[in-house]
Amino acid sequence: MTSSVPYLAFIVLHILCCAAVTCILVRSKAPAGKAQRFLLLHGSEILFSLTLVFFLFIYIYATNANMDYVQRFMTSHGNLRLAPNSRQERLAACLRYLPLLTLDVLWYVLFRLSLPLKRRSGSGPVARFAVWALPLTLLSGTLMALSFPSFLNMKGIPILGWFCLVPLIVALADLPFGWGVFYGTFAGVLQTMISNYWLGTFNLLTLQFVSVVTLVQYIPFMAIALPLLKRSRGLGFLALPAAWTIFDWLRSLGFLGYPWGMLGASQYTFIPLIQVAALTGVWGVTFIVTLANSTIAWYLHAAGSGAHRGPTAVVVSGAVIVCALGFGGYSIAAQNARAGGPPRETVRLSLVQQNADPRKDDYAADFKELRRLTDAALASDPDLVVWSETAFVPNIRRWSEEDPAVYPLASLVKDFLTYQKSTKHWLLTGNDDYSLVQTNGVTARRDYNGAVLFSSRGQRVETYHKIHLVPFTEYFPYKKELPGLFAFLQSFDATLWEPGDSRIVFRHPKFTFSTPICFEDVFPDDVRRFVRQGAQVIINLSNDYWSLTETEGMQHAANAVFRAVENARPIARAAASGLTCLVDPLGRITARSPLYEQSVLTVDIPLSMDRWTLYSRWGDWFPPALFAILLLLLGVALVRPRA
**Alpha-carbon distances, residue 417 vs 84, 148, 372 (angstroms):** 41, 41, 15
- Quote the CA–CA distance of 328 and 1 in Å, as a whole number: 52
Among 162, 155, 137, CA closest to 218? 137
- Report the alpha-carbon angle 10-16-19, nearest 5: 135
Which positions are catalytic?
389, 466, 518
253 φ/ψ angles, rounded to the nearest 5 degrees: -100, 155
Residues 6+ apart with CB under 8 A from 228: 239, 240, 243, 630, 633, 634
CB 461, CB 574: distance < 8 Å: no
- Is 144 strand, coil or helix? helix
- Quote the CA–CA distance of 303 and 320 in Å, as a whole number: 24
**Alpha-carbon distances, residue 364 vs 268, 392, 419 (angstroms):** 38, 9, 13
- Quote the CA–CA distance of 163 and 143 in Å, as a whole number: 8
N residues, the chain: 643
- Is 351 strand, coil or helix? strand
Buried b (16+ CB within 10 A) or exposed e, 181-211: bbbbbbbbbbbbbbbbbbbbbbbbbbbebbb
- Quote the CA–CA distance of 264 and 239 in Å, as a whole number: 17
**Alpha-carbon distances, residue 475 vs 133, 192, 422, 478, 576 (angstroms):** 39, 22, 36, 9, 22
CB 496, CB 479: distance < 8 Å: no
Cα-trace Rg, the chain = 27
Residues 6+ apart with CB under 8 A from 395: 413, 431, 432, 433, 434
Q: Are strands 571-575 and 581-583 parallel, antiparallel or unpaired?
A: antiparallel
Among 422, 352, 349, CA closest to 381? 349
Beta strands in 211-362 (DSSP E): 346-353
